[in-house]
Chain A
Amino acid sequence: MSAKHKLPVTIVTGFLGSGKTTLLQHALRQQGMQDTAVLVNEFGMVGLDHHLLQMVEESTILLGGGCVCCSTRDDLVQALTQLLNRVQKGERDVSKVVIETTGLADPAPIVFTVLSHPVLQHHFHIQNVIVTVDAVNGLFHLRRQPESVKQALVADKFIITKTDLAPGEEVKQLLRELQVINPSAGRHTAVHGVIDAALLFSPAVTIRQRAADPAPVFQEKGTHVQDVNSVSITFREPLDWTAFGLWLSMLLHAKGEDIMRVKGLLDIGGAGPVILNGVQHIIHPPNHLEAWPSEERVSTLVFIMRSVSPEEILTSLEAFQKAFDVKHNMPEMEILQ
């Protein structure tokens, strides 16, 4: 079944108190958002978030048992199948699903659950992972809390919240740091949770943000975040999908834990590019675009990884390309950070 018939799932995550609920509250009140089902992941206290999200009360299903991490993925499966049942019975008209995680949740297992469950994978697809980052405490979280970094790595879009409360310099510093951790995600700001819902729920197209602000991404000693490297690899010629798939699947099998993110726009010889999006071991079903977004047809891949050096990746890819007899199409690498 093509992605068109599947319900888009948006995962909203972000560290504790970073404004996930506020963001959703505002977004869900906007036009065209009535048929959104919201799954809230309860953590601790009595369904507080549930009360805040009254607007969508009927389609809100509380996930019991804390985190939507590996341990309680079943809850998510249950919640989504339940939702699916209701949709297919015609009880509800749902055009999109939002999953709000807890502040400490790792979004990767959620992506994994949706992509690998035998039933769910045919009815839902992950559209976006939105990560809210608090402008006041965001930097602190990124430096101290590994969960926060993990969330940032998985992001398709960052929403910087509370920018009105933080000094401008701090916001800039935060943006720079996010660029270092995950250069492939788009960055937007929201004050008091006000943001255009269309922006939140449109598919992420950013493969790679070329430092939009011309300021060089400078690196202070203290800002280096937990040994994260990111690298952009480009190919001038169309790629052999089979050869590339062999290399990437082997790499992910061996080093999936350390390759935090793979994102790419690949020219495999067809009319349009293929969008590749992966989080650790999990690769989304590649999406074929009808046409190229711009004139230039260059395959670009962004890797974000931990404790794997960019040179290792490039050497390995070069050796494989050579072994596969595609010497004319050698990768070019640029270390983003």
Chain B
Amino acid sequence: MCVLCTGAILQVHWTDKSTGAGIPDGDQLRLYRRERLHRASLANKILCHYGLKVEEWNGSKYLLSDRKGRQEIIDDLGGLWPAAEKLAGYTLNPLDTVLIAKLKQDVC
């Protein structure tokens, strides 16, 4: 439960393997933060092809936005793809040949 937004986290997404629920403290916090920033930067390498961008927010959420300024708050990768689908207007398919071609050319 987040005390600020009263958002209950019922499900830990499988990609958040070791962290589990909640934000760790001490030395672990650095690693935790770093991992989240790393994840956001990697995700952006894909999302930029759809005109989307994700930012890490305060160690607890991610903020997904498009170029029109629309934003979605997400908890984890489980929420990222549905939210991205909503903003983009279609399903983001990793098998899409157009996306793969763009990734290869590194157009972003």
- Show the binding face of A for B, using Cβ within 8 Å: 116, 118, 121, 241-243, 245-247, 249-251, 253-255, 274, 283-286, 288, 308, 312-313, 315-316, 319-320, 322-324
**How far apart are the CA atoms of A250 and B84 in the complex, in Å?**
10
Q: Which residues of B contact A313 (CB under 8 A)?
A: 95
Secondary structure dominating the interface of B: helix
Contact B35 A324 (CB under 8 A): no
**How far apart are the CA atoms of A242 and B42 in the complex, in Å?**
8
Contact A319 B100 (CB under 8 A): yes
- Residue of A247, A251, A286 near B14 (CB, 8 A) is A286
Shortest distance in angstroms between B96's beta carbon and chain A's nearest beta carbon? 8
> Known contacts A255-B93, A315-B100: does B46 contact A246 (CB below 8 Å)?
yes
Contact A254 B81 (CB under 8 A): yes
Q: Which residues of B contact A316 (CB under 8 A)?
A: 94-95, 100
> Known contacts A118-B10, A255-B93, A285-B12: does B38 contact A249 (CB below 8 Å)?
no
Q: Which residues of B contact A286 (CB under 8 A)?
A: 14, 17
Q: Which residues of A contact B11 (CB under 8 A)?
A: 116, 118, 121
Q: List 6 A-B contacts (CB under 8 A).
A: A121-B11, A245-B77, A250-B94, A254-B94, A286-B17, A319-B99
- Residue of A255, A283, A312, A322 near B103 (CB, 8 A) is A322
**How far apart are the CA atoms of A320 and B14 in the complex, in Å?**
20
**How far apart are the CA atoms of A247 and B18 in the complex, in Å?**
18
A316-B100, A320-B46, A320-B94 known; 8 new pairs, CB 8 Å cut-off, are A249-B15, A250-B81, A254-B93, A285-B14, A288-B17, A319-B104, A322-B103, A323-B106
**How far apart are the CA atoms of A251 and B17 in the complex, in Å?**
18
- Residue of B14, B42, B77, B81 near A284 (CB, 8 A) is B14
> Known contacts A242-B35, A242-B42, A320-B103: does B94 contact A308 (CB below 8 Å)?
no
Which 3 pairs show the lowest CB-CB distances between chains A and B? A245-B15, A253-B81, A283-B14
Contact A249 B78 (CB under 8 A): yes
Q: Which residues of B contact A285 (CB under 8 A)?
A: 12, 14, 17
> Known contacts A242-B42, A253-B82, A324-B42: does B95 contact A312 (CB below 8 Å)?
yes
Residue in A116, A243, A254, A284 with the greatest tally of chain B CB atoms within 10 Å: A254
**How far apart are the CA atoms of A313 and B93 in the complex, in Å?**
11
> Known contacts A319-B100, A319-B103: does B38 contact A242 (CB below 8 Å)?
yes
Contact B43 A246 (CB under 8 A): yes
Contact A250 B46 (CB under 8 A): yes
Quick check: is B39 within 8 A (CB to CB) of the other chain? Answer: yes
**How far apart are the CA atoms of A251 and B18 in the complex, in Å?**
22
Quick one: closest A residue to B8, CB to CB? A118
**How far apart are the CA atoms of A308 and B96 in the complex, in Å?**
12
- Residue of B17, B81, B85, B103 near A241 (CB, 8 A) is B17
Q: Which residues of A contact B81 (CB under 8 A)?
A: 249-250, 253-254
**How far apart are the CA atoms of A254 and B99 in the complex, in Å?**
13
Q: Which residues of A contact B92 (CB under 8 A)?
A: 250, 253-254
Chain B 27-70, CB-CB to A under 8 Å as 1, else 0, gives 00000000100110011011000000000000000000000000
Q: Which residues of A contact B104 (CB under 8 A)?
A: 319, 322
> Known contacts A319-B104, A323-B46: does B95 contact A249 (CB below 8 Å)?
no
**How far apart are the CA atoms of A324 and B38 in the complex, in Å?**
10
Q: Which residues of B contact A118 (CB under 8 A)?
A: 10-11
Shortest distance in angstroms between B45's beta carbon and chain A's nearest beta carbon? 5
Q: Which residues of B contact A249 (CB under 8 A)?
A: 13, 15, 77-78, 80-81
**How far apart are the CA atoms of A242 and B82 in the complex, in Å?**
18
Q: Which residues of B contact A320 (CB under 8 A)?
A: 46, 94, 103
> Known contacts A247-B94, A250-B81, A250-B92: does B103 contact A323 (CB below 8 Å)?
yes
Q: Which residues of A contact B91 (CB under 8 A)?
A: 253-254
Q: Which residues of A contact B80 (CB under 8 A)?
A: 249
